Amino acid sequence: MKRENHGGELLERAALRACRGLLVPIARFLLRYGVGYTAFAEQAKWAFVHAALIDNRAKGRANHVSRIVEMTGLGRKETTRLRALEYDEVDYVGAWWRNLGDVLQRWHTEPDFLDARGSPLDLAIDGHLGFSDLVKRYGGDMSPSTVLRELRRVGSVHDVGDGRVRVTARALITQGGDAESVHHFGETLANVAATLLYNFDTERIEPPFVEKFVWADGLDHRARARFRRICADQGYRFLEAMDDWLSANCDPTLVRHDESLSLGVGIYYFEKSQRESPIVD
């Protein structure tokens, strides 16, 4: 087989091979929460139709049903049904999680809530420049009592007496097995995939986004433990610096503006054994 004569076929096979590896952790995630193939297939079909709509709109093409049928391979009746489905309902978990995260971020970056060394102050629950003021500024529609309860639940704050609370974490940590963890899984994979999709766009005009990783084989458990500590220490330090910059340069009044952008950077550690590697041809 000559590569130059079968470029399209080779790319299609490579794409499916890559997708197979990507789908294994997604399938494990869904099975863990009792979601079977039938429910997943419905979401996958909707995603193909939605992706075709986005791509056509981006390229200035009309979103005729016949064009979407040709792109996705789905039947005309099924395409029409999926196109009419509304899956853009309000993501209450995501909005709630972001509001909690904003409160923690601002507690660590806003001068009104920092001491002379730049460390977050212990805050009185009520009163001027207390916890309630912090939440009213940056907690969206959530009440101070609700935010305090949830931050206590996830271990981000604790009481220090005299009606004051101390923040113990700068970022929200998912606990696993709850709605927040489910949301975090989807949001993280979506962000990474969107970055890769942008970088692999041969028609993009701007430079690629930052996306690199390093790895090595043949490490023992001692080296593994040391590397995990290094990643945690240096990674969190870098993310805190980026968080400071974002806080200093964002304008909360633009959040609902059409020209507003949501942007950020993430770091992830990975390891895998041969037992967990997907079997591919």
Q: What percent of the chain has pLDDT over 70?
A: 88
Low-confidence stretches of the chain (pLDDT < 70) are: 1-7, 86-92, 252-260, 274-281
134/108 Cα distance (integer angstroms): 11
Q: pTM score > 0.75 for this model?
A: no
Q: Any idea what DSSP says for residue 54?
A: H
Q: pLDDT (tens digit, 9 = 90+) per residue, 219-273?
A: 888 999 999 999 999 999 999 899 889 888 877 666 655 666 788 999 989 887 7
Please give the Cα distance from 99 to 255 (Å, whole number): 12
Note the pLDDT of residue 83: 87
CA distance 160 to 133: 18
Domains in the chain with CATH codes: 92-167 (1.10.10), 213-281 (no CATH)
Residue 99: the pLDDT is 86
pLDDT tens-digit series, residues 125-149: 998 899 999 999 988 888 999 999 9
For helices 131-138 and 92-109, angle between their N-to-C axes, nearest 10 degrees: 130
pLDDT in the model for residue 78: 92
* Phi-psi region at 34: left, alpha or beta (left = phi > 0; alpha = psi -120 to 50): left
Do the beta carbons of residue 131 and residue 123 sit within 8 Å? yes
